[in-house]
A = this chain, B = another copy of it.
Amino acid sequence: MPRASTTSDVFNAIAESRRRDILNFLALQERSVGEIVASLQLEQPSVSKHLRVLRDVGAVQTRREGRQMLYRVNAEAIRPLHEWTSTFERFWKHQLHRVKERAEEKSAAAVKDEPK
């Protein structure tokens, strides 16, 4: 079984750095495909395909304006990602504590006693 499809969920969709680039660009403001192509170092068809993926997972929404197709970010789709990472937030919030732990690990050459 290969990796999950990029359209299966936002996690897979944003795995591609080009797509993150696109979202970063769109974070500033709504943009046409042409503008996105210009901002990236990529052929138009490739950009369209990335946009398709982002659209399929709901990360972007579109609006037609004449011949142009305007894309904008739909942050709601990215929210689950933010919330999932928040699960681990508590770890780095206690950095001092962690740093201390690390130091201990490094010095003590892992000589444990009771392998359950």
- A residues contacting the other copy or chain, number (CB 8 A): 40
Contact A11:B4 (CB < 8 A) given known A91-B75, A105-B63? no
Instruction: Flag if A85 contacts B82 (CB, 8 Å).
Output: yes
| 14 CB-based A-B contacts, threshold 8 Å | A4-B17, A12-B15, A65-B112, A65-B115, A67-B115, A68-B115, A73-B88, A73-B91, A75-B89, A75-B91, A75-B92, A76-B91, A79-B88, A81-B85
Q: Which residues of A contact B (CB under 8 A)?
A: 3-4, 6, 9, 11-12, 14-17, 20, 23-24, 27, 63-68, 73, 75-76, 78-79, 81-82, 84-89, 91-92, 98, 105, 110, 112, 115
